[in-house]
Amino acid sequence: MKASISFPELQDILLEKAEQNISFSSVDEKTIQVTYPLDLGIIKKNLTVDLIIEELRDSDLLVQVSAGKGTEILLNTALSVLKNKIPEGLLEKQDNNYFLIHLGSIEQIKPVFDAITVSDFKVIGDGLQVEGALKKP
């Protein structure tokens, strides 16, 4: 079984729930490019980072964040700006620019993980795809 969500759908969810205009595009099967318009008053800049999918652990997705030199500073700045806009418990910072994203805590995505045992999570053309098998009742 396969389930997918397009980048425009994901962007709409983030705009509605977190009031953030974040855009996504695919780089390859394991990499998503994320662009966030940062506005710190006198500093206005689009931050672009690559999220590299490392592995899926049940409904938790381990990703590496890459933005070239200064990745750590960019991450800390973005996290402080987004702190009150990201649902609590969604992101868990790990070592070396890795994050664990708790997908099961996202209201719109949780039913997918409740219904299927996920075997793969990948980037497809204009979105994300989850593969798995239906859970037995």
Q: Where are the domains of the chain?
A: 2-134
Per-residue model confidence as pLDDT tens digits over 37-82: 877 778 788 878 898 999 988 888 899 988 777 666 666 666 666 6
- Statement: the pTM of the whole predicted model exceeds 0.85: no
E strand residue ranges, the chain? 2-6, 23-28, 31-39, 44-57, 60-66, 91-93, 98-102, 116-124, 127-134
